Amino acid sequence: MSIYSPPADWFKAPSGPERLWVGLALIWCIVMFIAMPYWHFYGKQNSTGEAYAVEPMTFMQRTMQFADAHKIREESGVPVAEVPPGGDAYLLARMWSFYPVLQLRLGQTYRLHISSLDLQHGFSLQPLNMNFQILPGYDHVLTVTPTSTGVFPIVCNEFCGIGHHTMTGRIVVVE
């Protein structure tokens, strides 16, 4: 029989090792809960919380204009845009690429606008492991100050269809 009533006194309070493990799990839950607000203030890797409503097509046009105006070269058919220090950078996510490649300078601060043309994507900057959502209809502005040079891959970490695993981009930081 799949349906039957358990005896009325079925519950046995945890004891011995079970009690210990439930206790450890509870303590860890509390630590992680406290870590969230702590990291919000001291993590230095958080969103500014600044976002604007934008039509996906409008954001794409802005990104295209930005890429055309600041293009310094191409890498595998994708323009590399050198962002003016202190300026606004645009990054468009779409199935299944990031556009364009951004080139930033060490120690300069930029406003990075991210949005999606189609559906939800993820912005995961490696190897720093900074993660943000990219949503169509929202221009999410991040403040970015590179602290080291190199090529930083961007990986989409929200499942977005059959080409999800191929969806990567780059931010290049130079002296």
Contacting residues toward ligand CUA, per CB under 6 A = 96, 121, 156, 158-160, 164, 167
Region of residue 107 (left: phi > 0; alpha: psi -120 to 50; beta: else): left
CB of 91 to ligand CUA, least distance (A): 13
Helix/strand/coil (H, E, C) string of 10-74?
CCCCCCHHHHHHHHHHHHHHHHHHHHHHHHHHHCCCCCCCEEEECCHHHHHHHHHHHHHHHEEEE
Nearer to ligand CUA among residue 102 and residue 154 (C-beta): 154
Considering the complex, state which of residue 139 and residue 158 has its C-beta at the smaller distance from ligand CUA.
158
Residue 64: Cβ-neighbour burial (10 angstroms; 0-12, 13-18, 19+): middle
Q: How far is the CB of 34 from ligand CUA (least distance, A)?
A: 31
Q: Of 141 and 167, which has the nearer Cβ to ligand CUA? A: 167
Query: Which CB, 102 or 156, lies closer to ligand CUA?
Result: 156
Q: Could you tell me the smallest distance in angstroms from the CB atom of residue 9 to ligand CUA?
A: 50
Q: Which is nearer to ligand CUA, 123 or 152 (CB)?
A: 123
The minimum distance between CB 109 and ligand CUA, in angstroms, equals: 27
- As measured in angstroms, the least distance from the Cβ of 138 to ligand CUA is 15
Residue 136: HSE in the Cβ half-sphere, 13 Å Cα cutoff:
11
DSSP category for residue 6: P
Residue 43: exposed, middle, or buried by beta-carbon count in 10 A (0-12, 13-18, 19+)? Answer: exposed
The answer to whether the beta carbons of residues 130 and 46 sit under 8 Å apart is no
